[in-house]
């Protein structure tokens, strides 16, 4: 498991969800969807929810929110 994936798994030990905005701001990860894909291939199962937010120009947009459901190897 690479360092970014380890930081994501560590995040879920203390938090119930993670968005790409949180990943960039809190974990320094710019391509969250790619790391989620890697973790999915390693047996982690995520619930995905599209979340509506406003950007700095007050325009409505959406981001993906990930919640770790479980892992095949029993680790969280």
DSSP secondary structure letter of residue 43: T
71 sits in which H/E element: strand 60-71
Q: What is the pLDDT of residues 50-72, one digit of tens each?
A: 999 999 999 999 999 999 998 76
What residues does each domain of the chain span?
A: 3-71
Mean pLDDT score of the chain: 92
- How confident is the model over 19-35, as a mean pLDDT? 96
Q: What are phi and psi of 30, to 5 degrees?
A: -90, -30
Q: Tell me: domain 3-71, CATH 1.10.10, correct?
A: yes
59 touches 69 (CB < 8 A): no
Residue listed under structure tokens 């509506």? 52
pLDDT in tens, 32-46: 999 999 999 999 999
Q: Any idea how long the chain is?
A: 76
Could you say which DSSP state residue 57 is in?
A: T
């Amino acid at each position: 498991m690479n360092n970014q994936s380890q930081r994501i798994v560590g995040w879920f030990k203390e938090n119930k969800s993670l968005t790409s905005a949180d990943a960039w701001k809190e974990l320094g990860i710019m391509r969250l969807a790619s790391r989620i894909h890697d973790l999915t291939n390693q047996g982690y199962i995520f619930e995905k929810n599209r979340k509506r937010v406003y950007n700095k120009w007050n325009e409505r947009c959406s981001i993906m929110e990930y919640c770790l459901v479980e892992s095949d190897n029993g680790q969280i």
